[in-house]
Chains A and B, each alone.
Chain A
Amino acid sequence: MKVETLQKLLDLDRRWIFLFVLIAAVGARVFEFDLPSHPKHHVIVVYDEIERLANEDATLLLSMDYDPSGKPELEPMSRAVLRHAFSRNVKIVGMTHNPHGQNLGQNVLEEVAAEYGKQYGEDFVYLGYKAGFATLIINMGQDFYDAFPYDFKGVDVRTYPVTESINSLSDFGYVLSIASNAAWEMWMIFGREKYRFSLGTGVTGVIAPDVFPFLQTGQIKGLLGGLAGAAEYETLINKPDRALVGMRPQSAVHVLLALLVIFGNTVFFLEKYYRRKRRI
């Protein structure tokens, strides 16, 4: 093989790779095929925690701390968890630490609640966004009503049956932070360590590796990592939706990238080999 040809392949314009990725993603989305999804242990833990809430008649605090940039990964996750919780009649309090995510959280909560015929105030409440991050979490732990006297509609939170027994973060059976920012970390540092509630998280793929050390220690109970985590949860609740569909193009692109890495390395070593051989 000619060294020049190999060199040309090594200098391949990156726009060709973008085009291959686009073709792989669109092709895998348009042509339907099934891919198996096997829930991992840390995803099953989240499922078990929601089941525990249903059995103990406890309340879930779902903090949807994501913005539009995290929506493709995290909204399917929120939807799957909400479907599971509503199907088991778990009461839900929703909120967000992300000012860009206020409407995203509200929309998904109301959509899924409507699917299961759940009533606002009776079965779920949405508190909306409030600034503060760490200080807000501490405030919620000290006095829940002082932190959130009103919900996002401006109605007194004390008037809702779903929040009447909540005085502090410790009164929630499980807190799940679905985050595209450092909110999950804030919940752990300023919430869980101080008020000792059970905390789980659902995060984007970029953040997921940072969470693993805290799974081992038990500081975080359950993790949904990226679109794959959402797809595994959909498999667990047996309600295939956007995450499982999205895993098809995702997997196709992963295979393509793995092949490109192998191809690039092979060409690199071949080029080196032929160049050395020619000199000899």
Chain B
Amino acid sequence: MDKEAIRDRVLFIALMTVIVGANIALFIAGRLEWNWTGIGIMVAATITISMYSFLYKDNVLFKLVEHLYIGVAAGYVTSVYWFNIFWPELIKPLFFPDPGEPVRWLRLVPLVLGITLLMRVSTRFGGLSRISFAFVMGFYSGIAIPNYIQTYMIEQIHYTINPLFVSGDTTFLILEALFLVSVIFYLLIDWLWLSDLNKPWANLLALIPAIVLCFIGIFSPIPGINQIVVLVGTLTVLIYFFFSIEQEGAVGTASKMGIYFLMISFGASFGYTIMARMSLLVGRLEFLLRDWLGILQ
């Protein structure tokens, strides 16, 4: 056994000892009560620490807890489906209707379709599952396609082609016009001068005004400016995705701005993702420090 393996084994045993010792100490001190709530907190804390042990290295404790989670989640969902769907929606109306209620024979249709769907596991009757799949595909396509087109295309395009100059105020109109002129000016400079220089600082010089213009658009209280940013962003990103056209000259400049828009959007998504992951960490820490150890109130 090499040095690293011995160190990992020692650390693993130390972690186990700390978890078990802490739980015993918390029960003895009366911090955790000897009832289902106390046991629940103890189990949850042990599982949380075991899951985070993966950050050090993959280990048997992590694997055990991972499998445990899958089993518990599957069991929980099965019980939810039974009590919320199978029993009240299928079994009861078909076989045990309330007095005075008619038997819902139509429910036999989804029952049969559901059973044929499960036939997929059989080599002999597997073909029957195609009937159910065909039903699901046809039904879902029918309800989804018109709604998706309405939501993602018509409404979005409608907003993009709204009038650019919407403010009634003359000052706002002048500011909007100035903003539009500066966007066009930036694109022209980039096209006529910067794109030919082929130097790293030229790219930086092109990037800074693009970011400044985006920020002005995002934080400006004038609705028209935001509209211009949306329009320019949509057009330039669309141009970037025209791979059948050589991306040089005016097309190259517009496509470069499209890349900046995409990068800003990726950056925003990444920032939000970090925030989300950290929130999960904060949530677990809160549980460990307050509910388990009782350090925080």
Residues of A with Cβ closer than 8 Å to B? 15, 18, 21, 25-26, 29-30, 69, 71-73, 99-100, 102, 128-131, 134-135, 138, 150, 152, 154, 188-190, 193-194, 204-206, 208-209, 213, 216-219, 225-228, 242, 245-246, 249-250, 253-254, 257
Contacts and interface: CB of A to CB of B under 8 A. Distances in A.
Interface residues of B, number: 44
Contact of A72 (B76, B148, B151, B283): B283
Interface string B56-88: 100000000000000001001100110011001
Contact of A71 (B55, B80, B273, B283): B283
A188 B155 CA distance: 12
B156 A217 contact: yes
Given A72-B279, A189-B151, A204-B276, 16 more contacts: A26-B285, A72-B283, A99-B77, A100-B77, A102-B80, A189-B148, A193-B147, A193-B150, A204-B279, A205-B272, A205-B273, A205-B276, A209-B272, A226-B279, A227-B282, A246-B282
Closest 5 CB pairs of A and B: A72-B283, A205-B276, A205-B275, A227-B279, A217-B159
B12 to A, nearest CB: 15
B279 A209 contact: no
A29 B276 contact: no
Contact of A128 (B55, B84, B274, B278): B84
B243 interface: no
Given A25-B285, A129-B80, A134 B143 contact: yes
Contact of A25 (B76, B144, B275, B278): B278
A246 B269 CA distance: 21
Interface of B: 55-56, 73, 76-77, 80-81, 84-85, 88, 140, 143-144, 147-148, 150-151, 155-156, 158-159, 226, 230, 265, 268-269, 272-286, 289, 295-296
A228 B55 contact: no
Contacts of B156: 213, 217
A99 to B, nearest CB: 5
Contacts of A242: 286
**Most chain A beta-carbon contacts within 10 A, residue among B81, B140, B274:** B274
Contacts of B275: 205, 226-228, 250, 254
A69 B280 contact: yes
18 contacts: A15-B56, A29-B285, A99-B80, A100-B73, A102-B80, A134-B143, A135-B143, A138-B143, A189-B147, A193-B150, A193-B155, A205-B276, A209-B265, A209-B269, A217-B158, A227-B279, A246-B282, A249-B282
